Structures are given as C-alpha cells and as structure tokens.
Amino acid sequence: MTDLLPDPDSSDNPGGPTPSYHMDPDEFRRHGYALIDWLANYMETVGERQVMPGVEPGDIAASIPATAPEKPERFEDLIGDLDKVVMPGITHWQSPGWFAYYPATTSGPSILGELVSAGLGVQGMLWSTSPAATEIESRVTDWLVDLLGLPAAWRNRTGPGGGVLQSSASDSTHLIHVVARERATAGQNDRPAFVAYTSAQAHSSVEKGARVAGIEHFRAIDVDENLSLDPEALRAAITADRDAGLTPLIVTSVVGTTGTAAIDPIAAISKIASDESLWHHVDAAYGGSAMICPELRHLQEGAALADSYTFNPHKWMFTNFDCNVLWVADRASLIDAMSITPPYLRNAASESGKVIDYRDWQVPLGRRFRALKLWWVLRSYGAEGIRHHLGEYIRLTQAVAAKIEQHDHLALTAPVHFGLVCFHHRSGNEATDALLNEINRVPNIYLTGSSLGSERFIRLSIGSTSTTAEAVDRLWGIIDRAAST
C-alpha cells in the first residue's frame, strides 16, 4: 500500500474516543430551528430591504479571511455572519418589489423540499440508487403534461416520449442540440456542417447551446412587428443554407422571449421543421408555466408537434432554482445519445428494461432528488392554486399595460404577454433611461432595462411569490409620477 498515514492516536488522543467534528442530530435540531426562524423572518422583512445591494466589487470578499480556518468555528457565528457578511451582498430576488428580469419564484413547500432532499443525500443517477427519486420525478413530469395540456405521448408512463428534470433551460437546450446532432450523424462517417436556427429574439442560451454542441452555424432569424419569428424568413434561410451545401439541423422556437415575452408562431415552425426534417425544440422556459391556464394555450398551438419542449418551474411555478422540465417526443433518441454503461454501474434493475435510469437522459451522471420539491409545490398549491396566482399576475400585468397605453408620456414597446410589460418614454432613449434610474432610486423596488436595436425600454416583470396588488399599485404610482415630471 502506498498511502500510509501516521496513526495519530498515540500522540494527540491517547486512549480517548475518536473525536468527531460532525454536527450531531441535537445540534442539527437547534441550528435548524434557528435557521428556519431566520428564513421566516427574512420572508417577513424582505419587502423592506434595499433590493440591489450597495456593495462595491470586492467588498464581500474583503470581509472574509483569505485562508480557511484551521480550527472549527462555532455554528452560531456562521449564522451570525448571514446578517453581517452575506446580507450586504444579496440581491433580493424574493422581494415584493422585484420587477426585474423574470421572477425566480420560490415558496415554502419548495424550500422545505430542497431541505429534505439535501438531508436524504441520495444520488438519483440510476433507478436502483433511489427508486423514489426516479419514480416521483417521472410521475410529476407526467402530472405536468396534463396540467399544461401537452400531448399524452410525452408521458413517461405511456411514451414514446418522456419527461425529465434538468438544471436549467440552458442545459436542456444544449442537450437537445447534442441529441439532434447525434441523431443526424449516427452511423455516418462524414459529419456535415450543421446549422441551428432560432429567432433573433431568442434567449442567448440557444446560441450558446448550439456553440457548445459544436454546431458550426447559427442563424438568428428576423422577427416580425410582434417580435415573433418570421416563418418565411426561416424557410428562406434554410433554403439558402441547403444551397450553400450546409445541413439544417434544428430550430428552436420560443414561448416568451427573454427580452419582451414574444411568442413565435409554433404551428408554422412545426410545419417547416416537418417539411425540412429539422428537429423542433420549443423553449417555453418562461411561458410554459402559464399554460396551466387553458385560456392561454392557443398561444403555443402546434407545440404538440415539437420534438422537445422545455420550461422552468424555477421561473414561474414557485419552485426554487434549479428545476427545469424537459420533454422529448421520442425518448429513444435522447437515450441513444446519452447512454454509456461502465461495469460499476451495471445492475439487475437497469438490465431488466423496466426502469428509467435518468443518468441516460442528461449530460452529467450524478443527480439529486430534485423532484421532491416540485411534487410538494404541486400538491401544496394544487393546480387551482398555481392557476389562481398566475392568473392574478397576468391580470395585474394587463392592468398596468392598459394604464401605460393611456399614458401621455409612456408607450408599450411590444405586445404584452404573460407577466411582462415592456414600455418606454415617448421622448426617447434618454428619457427612458432616466425614468428607469428614477424608479430604481426607490430602494425596495427594482426593474431592469433592455433594448431592441437602438431603442431602450424598461421591462416590468410581474409575478414573484411575494408580489401583491398593493405592491404593483405602489409601483405604478412611482412610475406615473416619475414619467410625468
């Protein structure tokens, strides 16, 4: 044996029991209660906090020693540092004044589900390494097929499709680009020069996913006046690429773009993908959750014909990051691309073919019991509860949008979908930026801006767990005053 360590017992611990540095269950109880209280207090007070921290780069790091402690520290001191060291550098995404980016919703059931998942500490890579993790995940993704009105063939229990949790929509979109590439190259010696397509308004993760997957060419297709992908431009680009000797591979359509929540014409894109033998991936990272409201499903008509579909419960379904759902219409191509079985992972259950081994549905091997929190959210809210709150957010959004339409100094920048209003000052970019700065001077409110070409606009995103009608009213008062001066 090569790695002999000296035996310390003869020197620093003569005859005594082995010391333990582990936190024992009683200490865990005590500190656990204290942190549950700390979090409950955080929920109660987050609305009073300044959303954007006032720290400068390096401030937080400077309050942490440059080297790790040699001796254990008291856990009470670590808890104390939450207020002293951590809070000054936290951006409060859970504030009722959070109208920035898109929401990153969390909730009590989700937080507690994450706690239990961490405490169980299981590895869900194979069915056999924790059957409950796999079966709850496949059941819950099946539930969501029905809740969102998606095709029955995407259910795990029927197939040929299936659903799986991933870390983020970026991961799912990257994964699908790899799967499409592998399907197209299977059994071939020469690899063609592939092309990936999406709207010019799609999330940067589509371009990044294509690049990471080694897809040589990426086309950001023009959008129409609604900021939706123009199907004729897509068809023309595909034709031009074929004429140039390239191989069109995949198109990603979007239900709720990141800039303006625009919605692509999913049915038309499905038709083109079918005609041209392209993989059609639907990125509904943001908009997907809203499909729990049947009245909105017409917005993604044609999604049932897609090859894959992804959405983020961690955006708008009260489930803390990370929790992304990916469905594929045909699980075989996903598994074919992702499966490798070394001897140390062989087991009877996998070889029986009766179980799902989710490691074959993703890039990494390891996976935690991520379905628990989503299961708890869906049961704790019920379909009714989620539908209720999303409906409320959408109605609040529509009310704000109506006020902007009627405002002397403000105008909508883009059609309003889901919980996002994009607007600008009628006097132009400078006034828009000044307005955004003025709104953001209110410490416990935060909005972000963006641009379309050279036109600046303000994104008002409604729908955090803590959002209330009162908070939106107050925000509107601030916007109205600031825009009118």
Cβ closer to a copy of itself: 320 or 444?
320
Distance in Å, CB of 202 to a copy of itself, minimum: 9
Residue 453 dihedral angles phi and psi, to the nearest 5°: 60, -125
Cβ closer to a copy of itself: 128 or 276?
128
Cβ closer to a copy of itself: 13 or 484?
13
Instruction: Report CA-CA distances (Å) from 142 to 163, 164, 283.
Output: 7, 10, 18
Distance in Å, CB of 361 to a copy of itself, minimum: 13
**How are strands ordered across the β-sheet holding 194-199?**
162-166, 324-328, 308-311, 279-283, 247-254, 194-199, 217-221
Distance in Å, CB of 243 to a copy of itself, minimum: 19
Distance in Å, CB of 434 to a copy of itself, minimum: 16
Partner residues linked to 325 by β-bridges: 165, 311
Instruction: Report CA-CA distances (Å) from 273 to 183, 265, 306.
Output: 15, 12, 9
Q: How far apart are CA 250 and CA 338, in angstroms?
A: 18
Distance in Å, CB of 127 to a copy of itself, minimum: 7
Q: How far apart are CA 165 and CA 423, in angstroms?
A: 34
Q: Which residue has the tokens 């081994």?
A: 357
Helices (H), 288-330: 313-316
Taking only Cα atoms into account, the Rg of the chain, rounded to an integer number of angstroms, comes to 25
Q: Which residue has the tokens 């996976």?
A: 367
Structure tokens at 406: 């009627």
Q: Do 339 and 115 contact (CB within 8 A), yes or no?
A: no
Cβ closer to a copy of itself: 116 or 236?
116
Q: How far apart are CA 18 and CA 87, in angstroms?
A: 37
Distance in Å, CB of 236 to a copy of itself, minimum: 24
Distance in Å, CB of 246 to a copy of itself, minimum: 14
Cβ closer to a copy of itself: 82 or 235?
82
Other CB atoms within 10 Å distance of the CB of residue 248: 26
Cβ closer to a copy of itself: 344 or 485?
344
Nearest Cα residue to 362 out of 153, 137, 186:
137
Distance in Å, CB of 337 to a copy of itself, minimum: 8
Q: How far apart are CA 254 and CA 104, in angstroms?
A: 19
Cβ closer to a copy of itself: 18 or 485?
18
Cβ closer to a copy of itself: 309 or 375?
375
Distance in Å, CB of 185 to a copy of itself, minimum: 9
Instruction: Report CA-CA distances (Å) from 40 to 136, 218, 324.
Output: 28, 46, 26
Query: How far from the centroid of its chain's Cα atoms is residue 428's Cα?
Result: 33
Q: How far apart are CA 215 and CA 192, in angstroms?
A: 10
Distance in Å, CB of 274 to a copy of itself, minimum: 25
Amino acid (1-letter code) at residue 485: T
Q: How far apart are CA 253 and CA 128, in angstroms?
A: 36
Other CB atoms within 10 Å distance of the CB of residue 346: 10
Cβ closer to a copy of itself: 411 or 450?
450
Cβ closer to a copy of itself: 229 or 355?
355
